[in-house]
Amino acid sequence: MRTLNVLWIACAAATLAAGCAVRAPGVEANSGQPLGIGRAPTAQEMRGWNIDVRPDGTGLPAGSGSVALGKTVYDAKCAACHGADGKGATAPALAGGVGSLGSGKPVRTIGSFWPYATTVYDYIYRAMPWDKPMSLTSDEVYGVTAYLLSRDKVVPDNAVLDAKSLAAVRMPNRAGFKPSDDRARLSGNRCMRDC
């Protein structure tokens, strides 16, 4: 991959040099040839930032964590804002509310609302705890994920999650979403008299 990039850069430089004499100023950008701006990131540079986790588990790192480990981490680093057992405090509730979405008072939590369990891992790692994001080890993130999912019985209390088992978790509201059709949004009526 890296060899290819180097080749491409050399190629682009040659093309630009050759093309300068015949190109008019103000020629449309990207009219075929790359402009040769920027450089390829190294594999190491990419590794540090390539943190996203997809629904099928792509991106999940090695490691594993139990509900028990997760509870220890949660109580120490999460409960102050999210409350004991994820019931909510100054920050929103993370558990409870399963089956409430169609009621007059829906409670949107991980267990009741989120379609994918992998997103829990992704978000905890990138953004939590609030005062120190990206500080948890992958074992700790697996553990907190397992603990939060266990609160709504999505996984059993003795669960140990890793890349494979987390990707296999099916969330209660997995089928609850449909793509929006922006063209079908509610439109008003342009009545001008006796409306």
Partner 1 sequence: MAHDGSAKQVERLSRRSVLWRSAALTAATGGFASQVNAQGTTGNLPPNNAEWTTRPGGPFLNPPYGQPSPFEKGVVRVLPSAPNPFPTGTRTPLEKLHGTITPNGLFFERHHAGVPAIDPDQHRLMVHGLVDRPLLLDMNDLVRFPSVTRIHFLECSGNSSSQYVGPSGRTAQEIHGLVSCAQWTGVRLATVLAEAGVKPQGKWILAEGADAAAMTRSIPMELAMAEGMLVYAQNGEKLRPEQGYPLRLFLPGIEGNMSIKWLRRLKVGDQPFYTREETSKYTDLLPDGSALEFSFLMDAKSVILSPSGTQRVQKGTFHEISGIAWSGRGRIKAVDVSVDGGRTWQEAALEGPVLSKALTRFRLPWRWDGSPVVLQSRAMDESGYVQPTRKALVAARGSSYVYHYNAIQSWRVAASGEVSNAHA
Q: Smallest distance from the beta carbon of 168 to partner 1, in angstroms? A: 16
- Scored b (16 or more CB within 10 A) or e, 8-39 reads eeeeeeeeeeeeeeeeeeeeeeeeeeeeeeee
60's tokens: 């999940």
Q: Does residue number 63 form part of the binding site for partner 1 (CB under 8 A)?
A: no
Closest among 5, 101, 99, 90 to 46, alpha carbons compared: 5
What is the C-alpha to C-alpha distance for residues 68 and 48, in angstroms, rounded to an integer?
29
Can you tell me which of 16, 41, 68, 87 binds partner 1, judged by CB under 8 A? 41
> Rounded to whole angstroms, what are the CA distances from 94 to 10, 12, 99, 159?
52, 51, 14, 18
Q: Please, which residue, 24 or 192, has the CB nearer to partner 1?
A: 192
The dihedrals phi and psi of 34, each to the nearest 5 degrees, come to: -60, 155
Nearer of residues 66 and 161 to partner 1, judged by Cβ: 161
Sign of the CA dihedral with 118 first, then 121, 124, and 126 last? negative
Residue 113 in tokens: 């609302």
Letters for 169-188 (x = contact with partner 1 by CB under 8 A, - = none) are -------xxxxx-x--xxxx
Q: Which of 10, 13, 51, 76 touches partner 1 (CB under 8 A)?
A: 51
- Would you count residue 135 as binding partner 1 (CB under 8 A)? no
Q: Is 96 in the site for partner 1 (CB under 8 A)?
A: no
Q: Least separation, in Å, of the C-beta of 158 and partner 1? A: 26
Q: Give yes or no for residue 14 binding partner 1 (CB under 8 A).
A: no
Query: Footprint of partner 1 on this chain (CB under 8 A)?
Result: 5, 8, 29-30, 34-35, 37-41, 45-46, 49-52, 54-55, 81, 90-91, 101-106, 108, 110, 113-116, 118-119, 122-123, 126-127, 130, 133-134, 176-180, 182, 185-195
